[in-house]
Amino acid sequence: MVLIFLVAALELFIRLFVFPDWRDLSPQILKPHPVFLRFSAPDLSVRQYDPPNFDVLIETNSLGFRDRRDGFDEDLAGLWLCGGSNVFGTGVNNDETMAAQIERFGYRVANIAAEGSQIEIEARVIRYLIREGFRPKAVICAITTPGAIYDTVEKGWLQQFDAPLPDADAVAKPVADIRSAADRLWFAVNSVVPITEDGTAFSVLAAKARLVKSSAIYGALKYGVGEIPALYDWLRQRGYIADSDLHISGEADLYLKDLPAMQVARVANMGRFLVRVRDLVQDQLGVPFGIVLVPTQHQVYPAKFARYLAHNGLNPTDYDLSLPNRRMEEMLSAYGIPSLDLRAPLLARNDEALTFINNGHLNPRGQEVAAETIAPWIASTLGIEAAKP
């Protein structure tokens, strides 16, 4: 009892006086959604804080999109830009996102991405907006390779592509009735940290995420040291803080020169899903559809990939960092889907910091370089001219 009291007293002291920022370490951005399954909560205005990476404000409109609260209908009449966390803008402010940066070139862009979104959710968002009567000039989906390359058949997404969406008024209804004790426990746990992938509920990562949400002591020890760069680097080098160089996005096998049959199927089935999205856009909207391939930090900074391979005892000669993007480009070209690979322009500037120090997402400068490359491609390849100044 004395020990419990001392820990509780220490927790209270750190919450109030030492590290009050602990509340902002892991803000709840996603929530269950009746149409999109899970999506950004509407009307958000929360601080996203991850020292020493970023300290920004995340704001969403009434539909849960990270875009204008007034004038969003005009954006929806421009370009639709869908994707996951890099498009949503994890770690950057609203005016620093890829969509906001593209607008500086004379386009109106609706940022319809969500943090942690997958192509199935992006397709649902597109289908929902079509059903609601919105009509864009073009639809662009950004895919982080290889992290967002999924076997859409194995996951059942391709087979369920045409499944009816819930009725329009379901958006205003509760997501589900929670009847059983098991349901109540699951939703209570999920409110502490979203569990978005099978098998993560009781992982070490999930446990750490819950500690960040619930303990100022843990948060101060884990993140407070980020304010002291020398101490942060020392702890990271010794493995006390996770090193993002050693954790790869997606399947490492997708970088293999000799691609395993399982990964061949993964790439092929991702392509089949994108064809369905393209056909939907062309049949229902009659506008151009294109894909932007966003590289991972390991593709932009090859030395990080070398560290990953060495850490895991893998042979560097078996791998090629360009292969996931090249394979996607070749497949999309065969299907007649225009694509743009951002790896080359980002790699050419890798003497700059384009991703966060220990996070992997594009930082404001990385978002800017992406927009500088995407804007002329929209005009030259998709045929959509920017508004004249």
- pLDDT, position 206: 67
| CB half-sphere exposure, 253, CA atoms < 13 A | 11
Segments in the chain below pLDDT 70: 168-206, 389
Q: How far is residue 224's CA from residue 268's CA, in Å, rounded to a whole number?
A: 44
- pLDDT, position 173: 47
- pLDDT, position 220: 87
- The DSSP element (H or E) to which 292 belongs, if any, is strand 289-295
Bridging pattern class, strands 138-145 and 79-82: parallel
Token pair of 229, please?
């760069």
Residues 6 or more apart whose Cβ sits within 8 Å of residue 163 = none
pLDDT tens profile 101-134: 999 999 999 999 999 899 999 999 999 999 999 9
Overall residue count recorded for the chain in this entry: 389
Contact 143, 118 (CB under 8 A): no
For the chain, the first-to-last Cα distance in angstroms comes to 70
